Structure 1
């Protein structure tokens, strides 16, 4: 049946709306440059769409793409040393989450995080993103913006902090070699107001860098080293897609 003028206008309007939504989607490409399998986890905020079913396996050299709608916010991280059965039940040595293979919550610290808030038309499609060590470190990560406009800085922690982690922050694996598999934040290790930026240290004016956060910052200058490390750690870009690389220097 032929479309009437009104129905044609209605069809064109919704087609343009659909195309506009597609154009505003952000493509994330997750790449594994580690020498071992990682199991990326994803967490969406404010009831936003869950990306990649919450988690999946990523073999060395492999990549996966997921798409986020305009206004999406959330985080990505790597889990290591995981064992899952055929139904997805199991756990991981680092970055573990509720839900097994498909995370239904955030990663258990210490864990390196890539955090994003994708822009909307109302703010000029300006994205905010960072790589954070506030919850500690388990795997090197890098975030590179592609095809966007603005500052679009590289964010990441390329250094192997497990190899240089102070003894009091080390998390060791359960194998007989005693390998360091993650590095705690000072907050997780000591739980004081000074290290956690709580209580009398709950503002940027009263929570300053510490010896431990400075170790993280020296190794990874473009990553968040403590809660109020905003000036050199928050990145912005408009209309970009993003590559998230685990072990960006190919470290093991």
Structure 2
């Protein structure tokens, strides 16, 4: 176990006051560095994860929120910012503020040993991800807890009006229709907030073609949000293929 991993585990134990039954293993298989972020905080004292990095986190017994990876981050004088997933705080620590979209979100709800989990493209896509429970049993179903992921290159299907670029005009991610077009039809707000009005659309369907296991619009429930009981750990991989 590396020094960074050990420090993170010790900090989490201090924050939660007890050992959690839930361990998250973060592995960065991207060819580039990413910076982890979570809202609310998971106590990551050093969020920078180089290519090939493996980090272990003992999660709080009760935690509900989102985890994501920030990309292409750097200091500009004394202000820290990222091209995707940025929090707007100007610091390397990133927790409460919402991320700058587009960003691939990993949503979790932890209640002791029962964990609900999903990959969400409701705010777009900035890198491939996978959540793989180790062991455990699926609540409300049979067998082991399923893998969920979005590992394909979404840039291949991203419509031109949803492409996110950096200051040099280089592709960095794909906006969701809600964030890119600011249309309540795609955000499922206002007159479109009911289950009957909030439906899959031409943009979410493009995402779903490549990422069948991810949720691609606000009321997407195919697949359902899985609930896993007593998995030994959750392997969270960035750029898994």
For 1:205-244, list aligned pairs within 5 A: 205-240=196-231, 241-244=233-236
Higher strand share: 2
After superposition, what is the alpha-carbon deviation per residue over 1:169-197, rounded to whole angstroms, capped at 9, x for unaligned?
A: 0011222xx32111000011111121110
CA contact (8 A) 2:135 2:145 kept: no
1:196 is matched with 187
Instruction: Check if 1:147 corresponds to 2:139.
Output: no
For 1:107-122, list aligned pairs within 5 A: 107-120=99-112
Residue 98 of structure 1 deviates from its aligned partner by 3.4
RMSD, matched Cα: 1.8
Instruction: Check if 1:98 corresponds to 2:88.
Output: yes
Determine helix, strand or coil for the equivalent of 2:93: coil
Determine helix, strand or coil for the equivalent of 1:84: strand
CA contact (8 A) 1:119 1:238 kept: no
CA contact (8 A) 1:83 1:92 kept: yes
Structure 1 runs not aligned, ≥5 long: 1-20
For 1:11-160, list aligned pairs within 5 A: 22=19, 24-44=20-40, 50-53=42-45, 56-84=47-75, 89-99=79-89, 100-104=91-95, 105-120=97-112, 125-150=113-138, 151-160=144-153
In 1, Cα distance between equivalents of 2:219 and 2:76: 40
Structure 2 runs not aligned, ≥5 long: 1-17, 139-143
* Structure-1-length-normalised TM-score: 0.80
CA contact (8 A) 1:155 1:235 kept: no
Residue 85 of structure 1 deviates from its aligned partner by 7.2
In 2, Cα distance between equivalents of 1:93 and 1:210: 27
Which of 149, 157, 160 is residue 164 of structure 1 equivalent to? 157
In 2, Cα distance between equivalents of 1:144 and 1:86: 39
CA contact (8 A) 1:200 1:206 kept: yes
2:12 is matched with none
